Chains A and B, each alone.
Chain A
């Protein structure tokens, strides 16, 4: 016995008291059968899904969190990051679209000749609109304000009379 052991002789004698602590009488008689019963129960429960359908990938995925709780935090963090990234990208693309739109708007002055050419063609051949298919390039905002879905006149607007006097009789 070395010096360190001798220094703690009294303490070691005192610790011998722990060896005299015993569980209730007969405690170990039923211990192993309890363990085996619990194992049998576990085996029965774990074999249940194998009889029917195998557990889904989702249940296996969630079951993996039981043994590695850190994964839950990691997954939650990555989901939040994806969400933030998605929001940032969406904002960025909106800004780009707006920029493109303004560029298009700046380029618009070059297109009126086409629209005016179409309008002039319609004006020059008004009878064609009575039959067949009429194609218009006018934007919706150019619809006459007095039109109504149910065919009723809108009293708030008054038709401007711009037709030549001779054409009114037709």
Chain B
């Protein structure tokens, strides 16, 4: 067992994958520079050479196509976007090409491509450096979408993504890079939403950074006697509902806290599915929590209003369970934003 940060877990997973197969390579803007994608690609260039670890021109569209072609011809590319927003420059290649090739070729071709996307947040990242995009890409058949929220998942889902013979997008939240956790390198990836904290009164489904907020909310709710079950959606697509369905069957209450806009997103998809599968057990309608329906602002005061937080989950839970919202000033909420001093 190792105690690793999320960034170390990513780095170890990438080292392991490049070591395991000579056909694997990693490329993208900045993967080979001294800052090494916030440390996640550290030492890869030194250990595997410039043929397998390289920077690119600012040509996300062509570079994605390049990766697809290399993948078709037996390579296993890992393409890195230091912000998820930049992946939109390659939307044609991801959505029109990579997702369809296995199907259109009648299963003759497959695309073992991994696309890493870092989600930015806070410190003025603003409207073009903060998108999550997991819901968008999960909409298209033929793409897999992973969203690790712990060092263990960062390690095992990254390895799974690289080994998967299909295109996989991995969304890594920038704030998660510093969290520390146990990583067992032998543990295989859990390819479905999973219970990470048990409870009996309320189910909170989170993902990425919202899972961290959900765990914080659970702590506070516990002081009111509420036992909250927290489920983390580490694999957005293909979506498996087993854990969520059985949890809601037990609790009868469900809040979905997605790190994305609410409308037309994962929260809406999950809500629809829970209503379909658990209609009889639900004591209240499912509630969705996510970004405010506006572009992400830059000023701190505006950002604070834009992003959902543990406090929002607590307030929603109290409303749902008929409880009075406690005085939250005596609790200490997430300090990552205070610790993160930029610039990127």
A binds B: no
